[in-house]
Amino acid sequence: MRRVAWLISCVLLAAVIPLQEVLAGDLPDFTAVVNKVSAAVVNVSAIQPADTLAGNAASGSAASGSGDSYPDWYRRYFGAAPPDNGATGDDSDSDPATTESLGSGFIISTDGEILTNYHVVEHAESIRVKLNDRRVLPARIIGVDPQSDLALLKIHAEHLTAVSVNTRPVHAGQWVLAIGSPFGFDYSVTAGIVSAEGRSISGEQYVPYIQTDVPINPGNSGGPLFNLQGQVVGINAEIYSGTGGYQGVSFAIPMNLAMDVVRQLRAHGHVTRGWLGISIGDVDTKLAQTLHLPRPEGALVRQVAPASPAARAGIKAGDVILSYDGMEVVSSQNLPPLVGGTAVGHDVPVTVLRRDHLDRLNVRVGELPVGAPAAPETVPATAGGLDELGLVTRALTKNERKQLNINQGGVLVEQIGRGVAQRAGVKPGDVLLMLYGVAVTGPQQLQHLEKQLPDRAVPLLIKRPDATLFLALQAGGA
């Protein structure tokens, strides 16, 4: 019996050892890549007024420690003042009226152009760049683009090594590595895989981020993300964290977007983006059923700005954009990067689903404007009565329109009783904007619309102070 057990153990051990050797043989060795690219990676120090970083930390834009306040899930990290490990390469006395933001960057041309994150150099009074050979040089800003969180810097030096850039898409499961200065520790190398592509995160609608599990910490911001060929495929920019430190989810800006920004900053010093003039949301399962879509897909148009490119093309609130310039729109997250990357003045075909049929429209893309929308139109308040949906509604006042940024139409829900509106999720204080594809202009017109609804679920567009959304209203129900 012991001999049998011994033989079984030998067989199992013989099977495990080759498997371990195969697995070890499949793991990449990053040594050659690191030796090839390290000379192009730099440390970026931005000297800022002391109250600047304090204000940023208070507002949640810096992740310098567990005591910081954060406004949302996605933690931007500047990297606070570096530890005393020689990271800055400067032995001069510090000025108590200033503080230092530390980040990373990389050389993209041998004449001294450096790419980093905008938030690393934001509010900087002066910028210093430390090279791999320990030279410390002043840098000036060529241009910045806060929308994509990118900044293009310039130094004057000889014998510089530039990175090789790859603008082709990465793929989930692909090995990648980062080189940067986490917590001020220069030229730290970390590795992992691409977790997902085209991620949209809070407040960053124009960047389809690369998600990775590469360990990233404060100070890595602005540093390069390399593939196994030593080509830069992304710029490390964001982390998902409850503490400001690494928790397995990191985000990088893809290089195809970054290089387009670089070209515009070189040529003009600023970046222009395409604009349609719409606000959009996702199509959920219930709305997909009401719109007769086989699955939840597309970008649901919630609002259209007056006199915007979308309005001139005939796009309306309630439309579902299914394709843009020949590219399928899987969800609302896909559309802003597509529009933002379109040349201003370019004519683009857009396919929309409107009620029960498809329309193909041509939109001449405008330039994303800077500034507030036009002043809203005034409509006097009018009392409403209990309607068939169990609602008491009235017209909006001038101040209410201004607060909610509603130009025209809409009725305010003052009271709600039991009925289909309550079951759909309508609440007192909601503003009803559109019912079954028809704009709601007043309480009497709303009651007229209610009598014409089909005996099935229909979309209802409402506006709240913090959101504009569609609800599935089961018309004809008791």
* Contact assessment for residue 462 and residue 426, using Cβ atoms and an 8 Å cutoff: yes
Q: Residue 193: how many CB atoms within 10 A of its CB?
A: 14
Q: Which domains does the chain have, with CATH numbers?
A: 29-271 (2.40.10.120), 274-367 (2.30.42.10), 391-474 (2.30.42.10)
Please tell me the predicted confidence (pLDDT) of residue 457: 81
Task: Copy the structure tokens of residue 382.
Answer: 């009018």
Choice among 78-92, 293-307, 329-343 with the minimum mean pLDDT: 78-92
% of residues, the chain, pLDDT over 90: 39
Cα separation, 241 vs 193, in Å, equals 18
* Contact assessment for residue 432 and residue 446, using Cβ atoms and an 8 Å cutoff: yes
DSSP 267: H
Cα separation, 329 vs 349, in Å, equals 13
221 is catalytic: yes
The pLDDT confidence band at residue 469, using thresholds 50, 70 and 90, is confident
Which listed residue (149, 319, 387, 430) is catalytic? 149
* Contact assessment for residue 217 and residue 238, using Cβ atoms and an 8 Å cutoff: no
DSSP 83: P
* Contact assessment for residue 16 and residue 69, using Cβ atoms and an 8 Å cutoff: no
Bridge partner residues of 329 (DSSP): none
Mean pLDDT of the chain: 79
Alpha helices in 87-177 (DSSP H): 118-121
Instruction: Compute CA 170 distance to the chain's CA centroid, rounded to the nearest angstrom.
Output: 17
% of residues, the chain, pLDDT over 70: 78
Cα separation, 246 vs 249, in Å, equals 7
The pLDDT confidence band at residue 3, using thresholds 50, 70 and 90, is low
* Contact assessment for residue 296 and residue 282, using Cβ atoms and an 8 Å cutoff: yes
119 is catalytic: yes
Task: Copy the structure tokens of residue 384.
Answer: 């409403």
From the list 100, 160, 112, 164, the residue with the least C-alpha distance to 133 is 160
From the list 244, 257, 174, the residue with the least C-alpha distance to 216 is 244
Q: Judging by DSSP bridges, how do beta strands 274-275 and 366-367 pair with one another?
A: antiparallel
Each residue's pLDDT tens digit, 230-265? 999 999 998 876 656 677 889 999 999 999 999 999
Each residue's pLDDT tens digit, 318-339? 899 999 999 999 888 889 889 9
84 is catalytic: no
From the list 334, 313, 311, the residue with the least C-alpha distance to 323 is 334
Which listed residue (104, 119, 148, 250) is catalytic? 119
Which listed residue (64, 188, 221, 308) is catalytic? 221
